[in-house]
Structure 1
Amino acid sequence: MERYDLLYRLYEEFDTEQLRTYQEFVDLFPPVDSPVALEHWQTASEELDALKAEIRSAFPRTGDAFATLASLATRDQAFTGLDLYSTYGRRVNVLVLDVDETLRSAGRTDNEIPRDTLHLLTRFHEAGVPIVICTGQTLENVKGFLIQGLGNELVHSGTVSVVYEAGTGVFTPGHGAETKQLLYEDLDPDIGTTFRTLRSRVLSEAPDSLRRGCHLQGNEFNVTLKPNFETGSDEAHAVVEEALVYLLDLLDDVVGGVAGVDPDASGRARAYYAAEDPEIRGVLAARDADPAVDAAAVPPAITALFERIDVAYYEADAAEVGSRELNKVLGVEAALAVLGVDDPFALVMGDSKSDLRVMEWATDNDAGIAAAPAHASPDVLDHVRATDDLVFARGDSGEMLRTIYALNRLADAD
């Protein structure tokens, strides 16, 4: 209990709120050419140093760690960090972070990663913690905003990796021949044929309501229909449900052709994926689109391909078909191998089912902890709440990063 007693004393005896105010001002002060503003910054910096010196003096053994901890984390964040350290007995040695609706959120941050979050990432980098950005976006998009937000030197430091397009490839600058790994090169030809055919037909054969109401995203091994309406709206909800049923039926026809099985109007894909995913089953029931056959009746040649293809439904956001052999887990494993993280204990942050697989991988392998925004997929939230309950508000990924930074500083002080 000594650690808890020391932490309690830290937050009771010192003005940690003022300390954090000074630290935030010093860290995020914009570059300005104003003598008055610079003098204000200098005063805040001196006050910050003085408060930290008081903490160092009061805690001879843990003073450095506690001074940094109190300047960045609230009392609740610090105690949550200590609870995590007491549970797992180790520090987080890699960050695995989704971007959209996790690091940034259209709901609160104008779709930009907040400056506070970016600064926290630089702190982890300076502390020697590698960063794996794990996203469905293209490599070009990710490189652009990372360099803009974190700086070219950090991104190309050799300790940052990007798993892009949900596992299609991995980019880890500064690692020679391993800098760019194209994971799709080892895919079976049948999967390639399935996705090429699916992508070529998905819009041309769609009903008018979907052609008007959706647009196509993804890549050669991912076909995603996104609504042309505000995410979460009633219109988006309806068109995404329609898109899911359409994608299931189109996938049924395409896979049947690849497998050499005659077309069947009984709804083989509907049956298989409804049995796999209760959300899909619920959408089919709501749209009076239940399959006419049981999943057990799907021909083995069809099932063998379905087992390698993922169908995902994101309520009022997207309907998606992707390769299970190209996923974020494989991408993360490849990134960690290049980064040299052979015994990972990761913070995995994300909001979608593709992120859930990484969280489950971390749990199953004692390789980390999971955190998610409160608006994440229900399955993601179920997993996070059943493990360490690390749920944060929309647009506030910085809260969780501060908690994990607190965990690491407490581990350093132990």
Structure 2
Amino acid sequence: MERYDQLYRLYDEFDAGTLRALQNFVDLFPPVDSRVALEHWQEAGDELDDRKAEIRDAFPETGETFCELAARASRDQAFTALDLHTKYDRGVNVLVLDVDETLRSAGGTDNEIPRETLHLLTEFHEAGMPIVVCTGQTLENVKGFLIQGLGNELVHSGDLSIVYEAGTGVFTPGHGADTKRLLYENLDSDVRAIFDAVRSRVLSEAPERLRRGCHLQGNEFNVTLKPNFETGSQQAREVIDRGLVYELDLLGRVVAEEVGGDESQASDWARAFYADQDPEIRGVLESEGETPDCDPDDVPDDIADTFERIDVAYYEADAAEIGSLELNKVVGVEAAFDVLGIGDPFAVVMGDSKSDLRVMEWVAENDAGIAAAPEHSSRDVLDHVIRTDELVFDRGKAGEVLRTIFALNRLANLG
């Protein structure tokens, strides 16, 4: 209990709130051409140094660590970090981060990654922490905003990897022939043929109302319908719900054509199969009045076997997507770890959706990390996070968990 007693003393005897405010001001002070402002910044830096020196003097053996804890982590974050260290007896050695609705949020950060979060990621990078950005977005989209937010040097440092399109490819600049791995090229030709057919027909065969309300995301492999309306809006919700039903029907017809089967029943087979797999899909079919006229057991074995290899994902008011179950974020993260040379990972996995949950469950099953999620995540994600370490954060506040991980690693370095 000695370490807990020391933390109680640290946060009881010193004004950690003021220390954090000073540290945030010094860290996030924007570049300005103002002598008065720069003088104010220097005065804040001097006061910060003085307050840290008081903590160093009060804790001769742990002073450097404790002054950094007080400057960057709240009392709750520090004690959560100590609980995690007590439980796992090690620090985090890689960050695995979803982007949309995790690092940034349409409803909480104006769809931008907050400066505080970007600064914390830069500090982790400077401390030698590899970063895996794991997203359903296209590679070009992710590269663009990461370079804008984190800088070209960090993105191309060799310590950052991008798992894009939910695991169909991995991009790790600075690693020669391994810089870009196209994981979808390893799929069987028959599965790839199904995706090629769906992609070529998904817009051309769509009803006009749906075609006018959504667009096809420019993926390398996955087939993703996105709304032509603001993500999260009622209009986006309506068009994505219609798009999900349409994608299910199209997938059913294409699989029946490729595998062989009664095409007149193929749409119902797809609806029945995927509704049985995912209660959210079942809910959309019910709300749209499009429930299937058959049971999952009625799906022919060869059709069901093919469906077992294909994922249909629904993201409310955001996207309807067809992907490969053989390619997911877990496969992508494993490939990223391989390229980055992380042989004994202990990751923090941050995300909000079912695709992120797979990674969370994978690290839990392999004693390879911990999970964190925003409070608006899908129910299954929240259930997992609460059941494990309760690292739930407010919308747009990913920095809260990053500060906890900072504290955990500082405490782990003490031994």
Q: TM-score w.r.t. structure 2 length?
A: 0.96
| 1:144 corresponds to | 144
Determine helix, strand or coil for the equivalent of 2:65.
helix
| 1:275 corresponds to | 276
| 1:107 corresponds to | 107
| 1:306 corresponds to | 307
Contact 2:106–2:231 (8 Å) recurs in 1:
no
Determine helix, strand or coil for the equivalent of 1:310.
strand
**How far did residue 286 of structure 1 move?**
2.6
Would you identify which runs of 4 or more consecutive aligned residues in structure 1 move more than 4 Å?
Answer: none
The answer to whether structure 1 residue 350 and structure 2 residue 351 are counterparts is yes
Query: Residues of 1 paired with 2:66 and 2:163: CA distance?
Result: 34
| 1:317 corresponds to | 318
Query: Residues of 1 paired with 2:320 and 2:305: CA distance?
Result: 22
Contact 1:309–1:322 (8 Å) recurs in 2:
yes
CA RMSD of aligned residues (A): 1.5
Query: Residues of 1 paired with 2:231 and 2:29: CA distance?
Result: 34
Where in structure 2 are there 5+ consecutive unaligned residues?
none
Shift of the 278–410 alpha-carbon distance from structure 1 to 2, 3 Å rule, reads same
Contact 2:352–2:381 (8 Å) recurs in 1:
yes
| 1:386 corresponds to | 387
**How far did residue 72 of structure 1 move?**
0.5
Contact 1:311–1:320 (8 Å) recurs in 2:
yes
Contact 1:104–1:113 (8 Å) recurs in 2:
yes
The answer to whether structure 1 residue 327 and structure 2 residue 316 are counterparts is no
Letter paired with 2:283: G
Query: Residues of 2 paired with 1:185 and 1:199: CA distance?
Result: 16
Moved more, 248-257 or 308-317: 308-317
**How far did residue 183 of structure 1 move?**
1.0
Deviations 1:148-176 (A, max 9, x none): 22222222222111111221211112222
| 1:94 corresponds to | 94
How many residues are treated as equivalent by the alignment? Answer: 414
**How far did residue 388 of structure 1 move?**
1.4
Shift of the 218–369 alpha-carbon distance from structure 1 to 2, 3 Å rule, reads farther
Query: Residues of 2 paired with 1:205 and 1:220: CA distance?
Result: 20
Where in structure 1 are there 5+ consecutive unaligned residues?
none
The 5 Å alignment of 1:205-220 reads 205-220=205-220
Query: Residues of 2 paired with 1:123 and 1:233: CA distance?
Result: 35
**How far did residue 110 of structure 1 move?**
2.2
| 2:296 corresponds to | 295
| 2:7 corresponds to | 7
Letter paired with 1:334: A
Query: Residues of 2 paired with 1:153 and 1:159: CA distance?
Result: 10
Determine helix, strand or coil for the equivalent of 2:217.
strand
| 1:363 corresponds to | 364
Letter paired with 2:317: A
Query: Residues of 2 paired with 1:281 and 1:111: CA distance?
Result: 29
Letter paired with 1:364: E
Contact 2:97–2:134 (8 Å) recurs in 1:
yes
Determine helix, strand or coil for the equivalent of 1:394.
coil
What percentage of aligned pairs have identical amino acids?
A: 72
**How far did residue 317 of structure 1 move?**
2.1
| 1:133 corresponds to | 133
Moved more, 215-224 or 21-30: 215-224
Query: Residues of 2 paired with 1:287 and 1:107: CA distance?
Result: 26
Contact 1:225–1:240 (8 Å) recurs in 2:
yes
| 2:182 corresponds to | 182
The 5 Å alignment of 1:372-411 reads 372-411=373-412
**How far did residue 207 of structure 1 move?**
1.6
Letter paired with 2:183: L
